[in-house]
Structure 1
């Protein structure tokens, strides 16, 4: 079977770094390009971090710089608490020699799906700003994109930046609203399943030390786990590893169970801004978003270990 062509849209912080390693080392995926944006850090930092990962992995996959702010809102700033000042847990970073493409993210996305109609899956691990901007630029893309698998949202569990909102949707609700209403075939890999994707300190200890990226992932993820422990008394010795799960679902859809449900994004609520409002009253809805609701955790961790190098 030929590898599936995918575009990764990232705001490379710590869990994005794991997702990049997973995707770029997967024989089942052909990463044709990586687009960056604001979120866990500013776009200059997320672009640098992405280029660093491609450099450590010695891959020529092109990187395209994207959005530096939400569509119409003021950006609230980087997530220093969880990703540090540099987006990678304040780990010491080596010099980066890879450079981003001159073309920016939106024209790359538009060109890529037109060149391979019906073939490209877009994996979004960040705010949905780049994809929304591409759709605003060229609405015909909807018929050309094979599908979108997004890390974001929550259906029947609490949010992680507010009681009801998940970070990637909350960070640009209008962009998410545009994408959700576009008619694209979307799979929402949200907090219902990513909070079950637990990476423990023991996994870090078993990461193959000869791998070029091992030390970076260990340092960054140690920071990430500590941040989760400090803010969440029920979390001890682990962190949810959100973004790699979305990549893994593209490779192996049976990792999660999904239901197609009506989902709307709240863009005006005083207490619910950025919420993904999922109507669970009618199950197995014929239209709507494919919402991931449960995870085969052991199978996911096995795949993560195989791709990233955990013994």
Structure 2
């Protein structure tokens, strides 16, 4: 069994990633750590718990994490994921959301416990991981694998012409993580835009008629509506975060290139992920450049809902 932690900002595609990880028989999901991103952290935490509840996986713990970027201010508009993060299906969070342990402390604890046997899949701004590295820098060389959904190395961004959302929301955190020496696989827009969920897929969930499939169809249709406005040429919505889970479990889904990565912090290219040609150390990041999209999507839809 592959021991895994998901670090999420749930988020519609994060919800799909959680469902995929829970469904895979070879994955032992040790916990879900949450942060802000597509919605405030209380929403991410509540949404993650709701997804696990719907899936009958309430034994998996959810941990509340970072509330804000390291140095910047996060503003929310709800255009893609809704103001509640799940397509206006759950509404506002009522009251503060707590957890038994802070997400950053859970990450550090689990890396110490499982070391090379642990895979972390991060599909959110990288604030939790950066905070963990700042608090316990030695964990960079202890963890088995870190798979990050983020970046746009050889393709345009989805927030600016350079930057992908998870990176630009907290570029300072992304810089810390990508330069940490952790064994990272970067699953960016270069490959995630090639994996699409369509209206026909959502309709199949709706027609299945179970509480889980109906719920998933409802929030996914919100995501599809947003994509039809912002990216009509795609004819669907990208399975960004589920692909990161897929790559963690099936590394041969993708072709990768080893690179030393950096994150631009200058205003004219803020959040750009690019190769650092001036670092002389051996690259520890594998950048995904090609994906077997058909194989991934076949496996995803065979397992989820």
* TM norm. shorter chain > 0.5: yes
Query: After TM superposition, where is structure 1 displaced by more than 4 Å over at least 4 residues in a row?
Result: 92-96
Matched-pair contact (CA < 8 Å) for 2:179–2:261? no
How far residue 18 of structure 1 moved from its aligned partner, in angstroms, is 0.5
CA contact (8 A) 2:84 2:90 kept: no
Task: Find the residue that maps to 1:292 and give its secondary structure.
Answer: strand
How does 1:54-65 map onto structure 2 within 5 Å?
54-59=52-57, 60-65=59-64
Q: How high is the TM-score relative to the length of structure 2?
A: 0.93
Helix, strand or coil: the match of 1:150? strand
Alpha carbons of structure 1 residues 73 and 123: separation in structure 2 relative to 1, 3 Å: same
Q: What's the offset of the Cα at 1:288?
A: 4.0
Structure 1 residues 94 and 126, CA gap change in structure 2 (3 angstroms) = closer
User: Per the alignment, do residues 31 and 79 of structure 1 end up closer, same or farther by CA in structure 2, a change over 3 Å counting?
Assistant: farther
Give the alignment of 1:142-291 within 5 angstroms: 142-207=140-205, 209-236=208-235, 238-267=236-265, 269-278=266-275, 287-291=283-287
Q: TM-score, normalised by structure 1?
A: 0.91
Give the structure with the higher percent helix.
2
Residue from 43, 51, 54 that aligns with 1:53: 51
SS at match of 1:159: coil
1:308 aligned to 2:304? yes
8 Å contact kept, 1:39–1:79: no
- State the Cα deviation string for residues 114-160 of structure 1 (Å, max 9, x = none): 11122111100000000100010001111221010000001100000
Report the CA distance between 1:232 and its aligned residue.
2.4
Q: How many residues align?
A: 299
Q: CA RMSD in A?
A: 2.1
Q: Deviations over 1:255-283 (max 9, x none)?
A: 1111102311011x222101101369xxx
Q: C-alpha deviations, 1:157-188, integer Å up to 9, x for none?
A: 00000000000000101101111111100000
2:72 aligned residue: 73
What is residue 6 of structure 2 aligned with on the other side? Answer: 8
Unaligned runs of 5+ in 1: none
